[in-house]
Amino acid sequence: MPQLDPRWIVHVDMDAFYASVEQRDDPSLKGRPVIVGGIGPRGVVAAASYEVRKFGVRSAMPMREALSRCPDAICVRPRMSHYQSVSRQIFSVFSAFTPLIEGLSLDEAFLDVTASIAAFGPADSIAAEIKRRVLAETALTCSVGVAPNKLVAKIASELRKPDGLVVVRPDGVTALLDPLPLRRLFGLGPKTAPRVEALGIRTLGELRHARTEVLRPVFG
């Protein structure tokens, strides 16, 4: 039986999207710790620039905790309609390469470019051109993973943030995934991960080799 050509999925994730838009629009914020989110006792971080992330600030964190970690952070109220407008620009770039787009949020999407290769060249070239055009049209960077399926593409896009591009070919999936920490697995929640780690499973390779009877009590 002839071997089928691989499917190619591109996962695009904008880098600190809301915060990056604010830094782009206000040059005085460039290189400074920026938090986008609700300001007040019940405020929550919607986005954190890379400058503030080194203090442990993350999205969905209470604003009070974020400011205790980085008192010098600059807080900016979200401008959702503006972010939506920028998102439309970004998705317009995607649609120039494929109609098969699965948006996960304003700043993240899967693109199936398998059928686009005949017109635009290899998947890695498509990914590089998407990065170039997004930067040229929005002055924003994105991180991109290219792989034979969505799971691996998403993991790949997270490995070299910000402004990264990681291509995983079919024969390289296992080599890429096996050494990675268990919590890199997309969809493995904060309640399930500790239960798996309690079994002595710390990497994706160990999870791949684990016996079914060991995993069944956790996963069903």
Q: Quick one: which of 190, 154, 160 has its CA closest to 173?
A: 154
Q: How many CA atoms lie within 13 A of 29 on its CB side?
A: 21
Catalytic residue numbers?
A: 108
Per DSSP, the residues of 108-148 read EEEEE-GGGHHHH--HHHHHHHHHHHHHHHHS--EEEEEES
Ranges of beta strands (E only) in 168-216 are none
Rounded distance between C-alpha atoms, residue 169 and residue 148, angstroms: 7
